[in-house]
């Protein structure tokens, strides 16, 4: 099923709003590495980060631009005609000293690389990021046994302002994706089952649910979200592994965290 059209809203996040009765948009193509995150520009485009490829599609998932990028590019966000991607060139989920954390910046129209900023403070590996209210929040890995997650707040020049502690308990490999909407921060995590975390404006922990938003979450209009879903497939007659993904529409639910809307 394809979302036939998207509209704009007036939220600062400038996200997309589906206007079709159908509820899923697949990203065109198959990719060697799995999906790490999604974001939108509010103008009809979706950005998909496939670990070592960055892809821009239209609202129907048709590829407009695609570029190879350094591994491991993670979750990403859009702000002011640019796409920002949390990137770790070192190891994840290790004690301080093994990560090599960066933010890579791309032109949203062309996906040309514009800049990169080193983040030495993100010591367990930068894995995702979001922009809200003049600040970037970067999330990432976590060594086993650490019973809290860390959120790194940066200004627009990527000067560290504060490290926030999220009293979430341990989550497998830390936090993978992050989104902000309507006074709440949302965090997608791996796990069996995968977990969804929520915090208020001040990063006070407010909830945890068994819901999978670990490969992409992005707010849209009407209090809803796009949730990415990755599927492993085999191509070339079953000889090669690949990945495909789609986004579905979901809305917050106090009992389950999110509920995927039916067409």
Q: How far apart are CA 203 and CA 212, in angstroms?
A: 20
Cis peptide before 223 (omega within 30 of 0): no
User: The whole model's pTM is what?
Assistant: 0.92
Averaged pLDDT score across all residues of the chain: 91
CATH assignment, 6-252: 2.115.10
Q: What does the pLDDT look like over 105-120, one tens digit per residue?
A: 999 999 999 999 999 9
What is the pLDDT confidence band of residue 22, given thresholds at 50, 70 and 90?
Answer: low
Domain ranges within the chain, ordered by starting residue? 6-252
Instruction: Summarize the confidence of residues 256-263 as an average pLDDT.
Output: 92
The confidence score (pLDDT) of residue 41 equals: 95
């Amino acid at each position: 099923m394809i979302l036939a059209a998207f509209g704009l809203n007036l939220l600062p996040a400038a996200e997309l709003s589906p206007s079709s009765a159908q509820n899923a948009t697949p990203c065109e193509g198959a990719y060697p590495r799995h999906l790490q995150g999604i974001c939108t520009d509010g103008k009809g485009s979706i950005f998909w980060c496939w670990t070592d490829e960055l892809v821009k599609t239209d609202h129907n998932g048709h590829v407009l631009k695609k570029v190879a990028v350094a591994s491991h590019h993670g979750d990403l966000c859009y702000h002011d005609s640019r796409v920002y991607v949390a990137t770790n060139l070192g190891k994840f989920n290790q004690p301080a000293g093994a990560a090599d954390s960066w933010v890579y910046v791309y032109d949203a129209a062309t996906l040309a690389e514009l800049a990169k900023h080193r983040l030495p403070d993100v010591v367990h590996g930068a894995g995702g990021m979001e922009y809200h209210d003049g600040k970037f929040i970067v999330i990432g890995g976590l060594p086993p046994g650490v019973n809290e997650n860390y959120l790194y707040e940066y200004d627009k020049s990527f000067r560290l302002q504060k490290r926030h502690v999220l009293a979430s308990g341990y989550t497998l490999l830390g936090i993978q994706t992050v989104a902000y909407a309507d006074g709440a921060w949302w965090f997608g995590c791996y796990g069996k089952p995968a977990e969804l975390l929520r915090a208020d404006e001040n990063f006070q922990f407010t909830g945890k649910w068994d819901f999978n938003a670990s490969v992409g979450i992005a707010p849209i209009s009407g209090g809803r979200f796009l949730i990415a879903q990755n599927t492993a497939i085999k191509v070339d007659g079953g000889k090669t592994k690949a990945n495909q993904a789609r986004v579905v529409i979901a809305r917050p639910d106090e009992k389950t965290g999110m509920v995927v809307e039916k067409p």
